[in-house]
Amino acid sequence: MNEAILKELSTKCPEAVMVRVVLENTLTPELVDKTFEDHRQQQYTRLLLFSSVVELAQVVVCRVRPSMNAAFKLMKDELCVSQKSLYNKLNNTEPSVCEGLVRAASERMRAVVDKLNVHRPQLIRGFETRIIDGNHLAATEHRIKELRTTSSGPLPGKTLVVWDAERQMVHNVYCCEDGHAQERSILPEVLNDIQPNELWIGDRNIATSSFVWQVRASKARFLVRRHRQNIRCVTHGRERRVGETTTGTVYEQDIEIQDDFGGSFRARKIRIVLNQPTRDKDQEIELLTNLPKRVQATKIADAYLERWQVETAFYELDKLFEGEIETLGHPRAALLMFSLSLIAYNALNVVRAALAAAHGVEEAEEISGYYFTHLVNGDWRALEIFASTDDWAKKFSNCTPAQTARILLSLAKNVDLRRLKKSKRGPKKKPPKRTSNKRKPHVSTARVLQARKPVS
């Protein structure tokens, strides 16, 4: 790949080049294989490197290739193994390897975003926000022999995802092969990764005694919706009305959170009487937090609303990437593909950060993820034709975060944001009442239009 080719690609399809730069800089074969060796427990490498599996699976996750089988056929000569060997490797990839891969990729991408210097302001000043939520992987097809006798939808796994609210990217993931597992059963793995001066936000499923006690022991802060059966609280003093937010009236009360061994610590209970009930018909919600008194209760209530950032991320993941593949029913293969979709989503958000740095935050907010990924998928083939995988790796895999940030900024200036703007629809109209006729299950569209056509 000479400079003339790179310049032409950077001008004609800068979006695809930006994504390629981020992925080549992040998922280097050396990093991927080292992560595999550091986190594997029983799996080993004979002929097929784990980095080759990731390279093949990534193009399926990003919808460049329609299936693993189609991607394998194009890379068969390079892999030098059978299709069965590939699927054996996929089906035996341990959850610890998936978690380590997401963590390693996230660390490299965070360093690039930090150099771009386009962080969102902290929800609560002085604390980096981590939003945690669970995600059930969608049911798969019954291709595995043991599943063919049941009509129930087979669930391949469950994950807990930690979202970095300031950098707008996935921070960590925790994988479980049991599709029926509760979120709190995975929480013990999370507790060792909590760092001082972090604010952890979660819903009722995260609100356990062990979680809030460990967050406090780690010199971090928690903000969780109260689960009445999981955390033992004793109130102190009277409840005080402290103000209004866009969602309702806010009340505050001092509480003491107790454990089963006689220990306790002071915290705050924030009660919000809602203007509109939740989808579960709740008229009010209660939040528990150990944030300092200097942080107003109304500010805390508004910060909890940002928990929906991770829900939005899950929605975009489902729409933009092929992270939950129906034909891959084995839990470990499904968890690997979902983990790779998280890495691809982070790469998209790094590119968004570069576009925000080059064109302004408000302009970048109007970018449609759908149009962006559609454009990248269409241009990806050009990147493969004019330069080999080794060329891309040689050019960008060893760049420092500062160098990668400069390259992305330069490419971002070539992007025409008008091609990527969201299509905003008008207000929804109330649908008219439909008539039905069992004797006439179908109508001719042409005849209906002709009947309603005004006579000239």
What are residue 244's phi and psi, to 5 degrees? -120, 150
- Confidence (pLDDT) at 433: 87
Neighbouring-strand partners of residue 264: 258
If you ran DSSP here, which 8-state letter would residue 238 be given?
A: E
Distance CA 189, CA 440 (A): 59
> Which has the closest alpha carbon to 397: 59, 30, 4?
30
As given in the structure block, the two tokens for residue 288 are 């528990």
Q: What is residue 7's three-state secondary structure?
A: helix
Report pTM: 0.92
- Give the amino acid at 126: G
- Work out whether strand 198-202 and strand 221-225 pair parallel, antiparallel, or are unpaired: parallel
As given in the structure block, the two tokens for residue 358 are 């080059």
Q: Is 341 within 8 Å of 317 (Cβ atoms)?
A: yes
Distance CA 131, CA 200 (A): 6
- Confidence (pLDDT) at 81: 87
- Confidence (pLDDT) at 456: 63
Q: What DSSP element (H or E) covers 284?
A: strand 284-289
Low-confidence ranges of the chain (pLDDT < 70): 1, 455-456
DSSP labels, 8-72: HHHHH-HHHHHHHHHHHHHS-HHHHHHHHHHH-SS---SSS-HHHHHHHHHHHHTTSSS-HHHHH
Instruction: Please return the burial class of 209, using the count of CB atoms within 10 Å of its CB with bins 0-12, 13-18 and 19+.
Output: middle
Residues 6+ apart with CB under 8 A from 92: 42, 43, 332
Predicted confidence (pLDDT) per residue in 86-132, tens digit = 999 999 999 999 999 999 999 999 999 999 999 899 999 999 999 99
Q: Is 14 within 8 Å of 6 (Cβ atoms)?
A: no
Q: Is 200 within 8 Å of 220 (Cβ atoms)?
A: yes
- Confidence (pLDDT) at 435: 84
Block residue for tokens 């002929």 = 47
Predicted confidence (pLDDT) per residue in 30-59, tens digit = 999 999 999 998 888 887 889 999 999 999
Distance CA 327, CA 138 (A): 11
Distance CA 124, CA 110 (A): 20
Secondary structure percentages of the chain, helix, strand, coil, to 5: 45, 15, 35
- Confidence (pLDDT) at 48: 86
CB burial of 227-260 (b: ≥16 within 10 Å; e: otherwise) equals: beebbebeeeeeeeebeebebbbbbbbbbebeee
Distance CA 209, CA 206 (A): 9
